[in-house]
Each structure stands twice: as C-alpha cells, then as structure tokens.
Amino acid sequence: MLLFLISCFSFILLSKSLSSKNRSRMKSEWRLLSPWFWEGCLSFMVSWFQKGRLGISFYQLRSIMSLKNKKMRLGSYNVENVGGNQTSLLDLPELTLECILERLSPAGLCSMAGVCSSFRERCTSDHLWKKHMKQKWGKVIGDAAYREWQWHIASRKRPNLLGPSKQKGFLGSLSNMWPFSWFKPNLENSSNQQKKLDLPVDSIISWYLCLETGKLWFPAQVYNRENGHAGFMLSCYDAKLCYDSRSETFQARYSPNGRLTTEDNISWDRLRIPPVDAPSYDLHISDSLLDLKLGDHIEIQWRRNKEFPYGWWYGVVGHLESCDGNENHCRCQYSDTVMLEFNQYPASSRWRKTMINRKDHREVGNKADGFYGGIRKLYKEEEISMWKSLWPNQVLE
C-alpha cells in the first residue's frame, strides 16, 4: 500500500516538470487510462480489506498476471499474456477457473468483474449468481417477489440499474453496494463505455444487486408485525419489504384499509414466503378441512373487518364443547363442526376459540369478533417449530 502511494506521489511531481505541451498530451493519455486505473485500485483495495474473507487475494492474482498489451478504449481493455514461463490467470484450464470463481463471495465476484472485460463477462453470468441468490434470498423470495422483479424490469425506461441522474453502469451499481459504498469512480460519459459497463437488466446479478442495495421493494410476509405488538402475536401478514445491507435488516410497509404503516429493523427470521399465492384480500379455498383432527396445527385467515386484508393466525384443533376430552370416547373428528383453539389467549377470552364447518366452510364472523377465512393445515415440522418459537412469554389479554 505504501509503495502504491509513493508511486502516485512521484508521478504527480514528475508531471509538474513537463512542458505544457507534454502535460496536455499526458492529460489526454491519463483520461484514457482512468477506467483501468480506478478498477485496478478497486481490486487492490478490496483484497486489502477483505483478504481473509474472500479466499483469494486479488493482489496475489495481479502478481501472477502479466500484461503484454493493455488495449483500453474508454473502459474496455483486453488482457494478454506474455510468452515464456510467465502465466496469466486466463490461461488456467476452464474447469479450474470456474472452480475458483465459484468459491468467490458476491463481493468477490463484483470485484473480479472489474479486472477486465473477460472477467466481467464470466463473473456476471447467471450460473454463478444462482447459487448466491438461493443461499441468501431463497427463503424470502417467492413467486410474488419474482413477478415484482419482472414488473420492475418492464417499467425501466433505461436498461440499467440506476436512473439517468445517478452513476451508471456496473461500477456505478457496485458503488452503492456495501462494502463498496466508499468507491466513487469517475468514468467518462460515453455511449460506447456505457454499453460496455452496463449489466443486463434481466440478469440474476442485476436482481441480486437491486435487492442488496434496497432498490426493489418485494412482497413477503412478516411474523408478529409491528415489533411484536400484542394485537398481532402469533400472526403473519403480507408486506412490501426493502433490505438495508448495512444493518442486515428490513423495512416493511403494511397497508391496511388504505393507511400506510411502516416497521424498521425486521430480522431475517421474522420473514417468510407467502404460503398461498393470492392477494391478501382473497379468501383462501381450503383443501384440507376433511383431514383435520384433534391436535392438528393450523393457520387460519382472520381480519378485523371486511375492509382490512387477511393475516394468517396460528392455532390448533381442539375438542368440541360437547366432548368430555376423553380420548377413548372422543368423536370430534367425525363431526362436521371443527373447534379451533388459540391457546395464546386465556380461557375467558373471546379470541380463545372459534368453530367452523368442515363441509361448507366460508368466511364467518361479525364486527365484534372479526372474520375468519380459509384454513391451512400445517404438515411440515419446520413451519410448526417456527410458530412455537414465536410463542409469547405470557398469556395475552
């Protein structure tokens, strides 16, 4: 690092001693080299800050890469290796190079893409980013979020991630992604350069960066909304979410009855993909009512009034009031009526129990108790365990 700074300082002193004519020529050449210079700085600085995390140091990569000709035309240049015993990284076998790139983190791939045009093409390919997309976003991105992304693509006036008044191209997008927000490249405004540096708008890396930088609000569901407010304990509601990569939390927007409600600092473990791919105002048509039996875990739609969207509430199937609870004589599962219990409430609460008809179920309720909608029987232990982990420390009033 010290050697790098000394070299830059020496160059500045030398440039002052040149004639005005030479300085003018040097300035023109320096302008041409600017993209390579800044991208080289990026690779070096990222390796210096993240050497232990990426698994591959870009300083080490630069030391084994010999450049015979640097053909740079406003941000685009080719890497060629020198003959003899020296070897370029691009001379590695295809499979070996793929294995190296597959081991890089998302930040590592972004940095490597700034080395040259060949690596940019490789490091922004969909097959490398599918794994990262699934690993980080697979538990919160569902069909509804994908449709939101497709709408986002279609609504773009320009085929890039950033608006026309902001930084453009790949490096402009990278400068807004933590931990690269400190990097502000000064690239020439050229149509050819813009074409070279832009990411394909429908690529997976574009989707990843839109999510990572908080540019895309996507639909998902939030457990125990509004910071675990007692009125929403053991519920899950639809929301539009935006990610903050610095705090690694989300901001949510809820919109019941036209009134916008927001919530900040939502952790990953409070989010899920909507289990039913339908608008939150639609009644879910249940397909498991005939299978319900004592002790089954369920989620049921509930809303305060018919102007509000549904939320999903956790409960269990209990004994009918006519049953004495004796398992040897219990006939509850053969009745057309099913008793649902919400044991987070005290026995005296009006929210503790409700009954539905398993053969002719539709929305039931009133303005005082709210309205109950469709039912989902929970089969996966993962879903049941999640609800149990959210159980309140004390009985709700």
pLDDT computed for residue 261 by the predictor: 87
Give me the long-range contacts of 21-29 (CB less than 8 A, separation at least 24).
Answer: none
Return the closest-CA partner of residue 309 out of 250, 261, 237.
237
What band does 156 get if pLDDT is binned at 50, 70 and 90? confident
The answer as to whether 165 is a domain residue is yes
| Domain co-membership, 68 together with 129 | yes
The answer as to whether 279 is a domain residue is no
| 150 three-class SS | helix
The answer as to whether 5 is a domain residue is no
| Domain co-membership, 197 together with 250 | no
| Domain co-membership, 51 together with 137 | yes
| Domain co-membership, 78 together with 186 | yes
| Domain co-membership, 156 together with 223 | no
Q: How many domains does the chain have?
A: 3
The answer as to whether 239 is a domain residue is yes
Instruction: Give residue 238's region: left, alpha or beta (phi > 0; psi -120 to 50).
Output: beta
Residue 314, beta-bridge partner list: 299
| Domain co-membership, 319 together with 376 | yes
| Domain co-membership, 226 together with 304 | no
| Domain co-membership, 191 together with 94 | yes
Give the whole-angstrom CA distance, residue 118 versus residue 186.
Answer: 22
| Domain co-membership, 338 together with 368 | yes
The answer as to whether 37 is a domain residue is yes
Question: Could you read off the pLDDT of 244-293 as tens digits, one per residue?
Answer: 999 999 999 997 665 678 999 999 999 999 999 889 999 999 989 999 99
The answer as to whether 329 is a domain residue is yes
The answer to whether residues 372 and 302 touch, using CB atoms and an 8 Å cutoff, is yes
Question: Could you read off the pLDDT of 317-369 as tens digits, one per residue?
Answer: 999 988 887 877 888 888 999 999 999 899 889 899 999 999 888 899 998 88
Question: Could you read off the pLDDT of 99-121 as tens digits, one per residue?
Answer: 889 999 999 998 888 888 888 88
| Domain co-membership, 120 together with 53 | yes
The answer as to whether 129 is a domain residue is yes
Q: Does 75 score more than 60 pLDDT?
A: no
Cα-based distances in Å from 264 to 24, 198, 227, 237, 257: 53, 32, 9, 15, 20
| Domain co-membership, 49 together with 198 | yes
Domain that holds residue 372: 289-389
pLDDT computed for residue 325 by the predictor: 79
The answer as to whether 244 is a domain residue is yes
Residue 316, CB-side half-sphere exposure with 13 Å CA sphere: 11
| Domain co-membership, 323 together with 268 | no
Scan for tokens 């050449």, then name that residue.
29
